[in-house]
Every structure is written in C-alpha cells, then in structure tokens.
Amino acid sequence: MKKYAVVAAMATAFLSSTAINAAELEVTHWWTSAGEAAAVAEFARVFEEQTGHTWVDSALSGSGTGANPVIISRIIGGDPMGATQMNTGRDAEELIQAGLMRDLTDIAEELNINEFYVDQSLLEPCTYEGRIYCFPVNIHSWDWLWLSTAAYEEIGQPVPTTWDEYVASWPALEEAGILPFGLATGWPIAGVPGVLLSGIGGSELVLAVNRDKDVEAVRGPEFRKVAEAMDAIRSVVSPDTMVPAFADVGNQILAGEAAGNIHGDWLQGDLQVAGGVPGEDYECLPALGMNDQLTGGGDAFYFPVLPEGTDPEVLEAQTELAKILISPEAQLAFNLKKGSMPIRTDVDLSQANACMQKALKLLENGLLPSGDFALSSDTQQQLQDLNIEFLGDDSITVDDYVERYASIIETAD
C-alpha cells in the first residue's frame, strides 16, 4: 500500500502548474526500446512540467504475454499502479466490468473529446455501459508495405505502387537472389493477414469479418483472394531465410537484401535509427496502395481504481495525467517520436515525414477496426496460431486455412 502523509488540498484549476503538494504516480507500460522510451519520456516531461507531480516509471517489456500478468496481478492483488498502458482493445474489458478501472467519462465531457478525436470508433473498446474507462493515445496501423528502393534499382524495375505490381515483381527478384518478402520469426506474421484483408478484401470485408464476425464473408470469394495472397507469401518465405527480429528485416530492406515486407508503422522508427530516409532508401505503401482506408489500433491508458486511503493528491494526479495524455502538446511530442498517428485532429503534423503524411490523408476517410482492435485477445491468439501454423506447414491448403479461419471467427465472442 502506498502511504503518503500529505494534507489533502483540492487542486487549483486544471493545468495550473503550482500544485500545492507533488504526488508520485506510478505508470506501467511496455515501451522499452530506445525509440519508444524516447516517446514516453515526452509524456513524462509534459506531465511533470505542467503538474509538478512526479512520474514514477515502471516499464515492463514483453508486450501482452510479458506485461499483462504483472499488470493484472498487481490490480487484483490490491497494489495497483497509478496508470497503465495497454493495447486499445478488449484486453481490459473484464477489469472494467469488475469495476477495477476508474470512470473517465466526466473528464472526457469536461474536455468534450468528441470534438477533437480523429475517429469515434477508437473509443468503442473503452466504453462500457455508456461510460468511458480509457483514453487511446495513438494510432498504430499494420497497414503498411515497406519496399526497398535498392532492391528494385538492382533489378531495374520501378518501385511497385500496389500489391499486385509487387507480387508481379517477385520472379525477377528471385532471379536476382533478392528475398521477395522479408519476415521475422514469431509474432510478426500475425499482422499480415489483417493487412491483406483490408488491401485485397476491401473495407466492407474488414467490417464484416472483424466487427460483425460474419462467417459467410470469410467463406466468400474476396476472402479467398486474401488466403491465396497468404499462400503466395508462404511460397517465397522459408524458415531458414527468416531472421530473429523484425528490426533485422528493416536492415535487409535498407541493404536491398529483401525487396519488401508487411509490418506496422513502428518499423519506421528502426528504419530511421538505421539511417533510412523515406522516399530515398525505402518506400511506404499504406493499405497496400489498394484501399483508401487504414485499419488501425493503438495504445490506450487505463487508470486503476486506487484503494481507499490513497491520498487524494494521487487521485488528482491521475486526473491530470489523463487530461495531459490527450492534450495537443503531449500528443504532438509523443507521436512524432513514436512514429504513430495522434488521436487529435487539431495537431499540426507538418514535421511528420512523407509516409506519415500519406497515412494522415487516408485517416480522414475514417479508421477501419483492425483485428487487435475489434477481436478479443482469445480470438487473436487462435488466429495467430493458425497463421504461424499455415506459414510453417505447406500441407495446410488454402481451403483448410479458410475453413479454420471461419470456425475461429464463428466462435469469436
């Protein structure tokens, strides 16, 4: 239990920087890499400057499997943290239903977030019985095809602008001994089907499958094309050409060893760290260049209900942090470093690079719910198992893939 003997003084007006008593607020998150740490440091800086409270950082790597057990244990153990980051999605659903997460609706109304939120659908996973329990702070999208300019210079073809052109260039690439599709082992394959679904399948199919969980849509012809695209990728990828980490794929693309790869926008962070310049060293094709809407998810912040006896100053610090996380200044500083898209429409993103600008244009057409966003973690895990199995075992035919995908969507809740 945190015991602070501090006289409770009602905080002065929001954003007042002269909070009488500074409180410590523990924030857990799994942004442990260099790029991510720099981004979360922005949040901490703005929080400490504007409120005088101190941000106690307790980073826990390992994303879902690594951090979830700790976050959940701490909450049900009665020693919750001040605030925690989790994927925008239905991971924390039950925690909200169990009344362990603090209701943020009054803060939301005070700031009337509907005005500036880029897409109301982002708030859906956070709302339960009409009340809001979390604030999404960024938008990440898997919907990117990264292409190597060096690879295409070597085979003397222009850099493709759509998925079909890219697939067409594979034979030439293979002759030149260039890996048509770079891939890392483990979870990175799990995001690829979602991207193919929105690119090849189109927005209606995404909504039908992810949101409505319509089994017939999965058995339909459009989804079959998605499955065939997966089969095509499987044919050019083999276990011994896969690399340990997705950052290594980034290096392969810059070096021209691999022609292209489907991965989330956070790969840009690594491409830039490795000295890549968008437009010169690599190209980025949002939604495979075939759809005008991006599927997306992202990270959100939850504020656990603190046990009674916690000094009100800490509760006050929670409220202020919630407001700051979605304030224009913090949003700009954080998302630029993180390489994700802010959730506010009124943020000047002129400094963002070319790829980010493309994404912002597409964002105006509204956000499609990605798998992480709309499906329960249980369903996501089953789909990930299916995709990993399909990739690693050629005996699974496209029909098996479609059938098993359908049965998973059928039992999805």
d(CA 312, CA 15): 17
| CB of 247 vs another protein, minimal distance in Å | 3
| CB of 18 vs another protein, minimal distance in Å | 24
Nearer to another protein, 156 or 239 (CB): 239
| CB of 373 vs another protein, minimal distance in Å | 15
Nearer to another protein, 291 or 337 (CB): 337
| CB of 277 vs another protein, minimal distance in Å | 17
Nearer to another protein, 150 or 388 (CB): 388
Nearer to another protein, 26 or 283 (CB): 26
Residue/partner pairs of 268-276 with CB below 8 Å, 24 or more apart: 268/339, 268/353, 268/355, 268/356, 269/33, 269/35, 269/36, 269/338, 269/339, 270/35, 270/246, 271/146, 272/339, 273/34, 273/35, 274/247, 274/250, 276/250
Nearer to another protein, 239 or 309 (CB): 239
Nearer to another protein, 221 or 309 (CB): 309
| CB of 71 vs another protein, minimal distance in Å | 10
Q: Which amino acid is at 121?
A: S
Burial class (CB in 10 A: 0-12, 13-18, 19+), 18: exposed
| CB of 303 vs another protein, minimal distance in Å | 17
| CB of 139 vs another protein, minimal distance in Å | 15
| CB of 328 vs another protein, minimal distance in Å | 22
How many Cβ atoms are within 10 Å of 207's Cβ, its own excluded? 17
d(CA 387, CA 206): 17
d(CA 123, CA 108): 11
Nearer to another protein, 50 or 291 (CB): 50
Nearer to another protein, 72 or 172 (CB): 72
d(CA 294, CA 273): 25
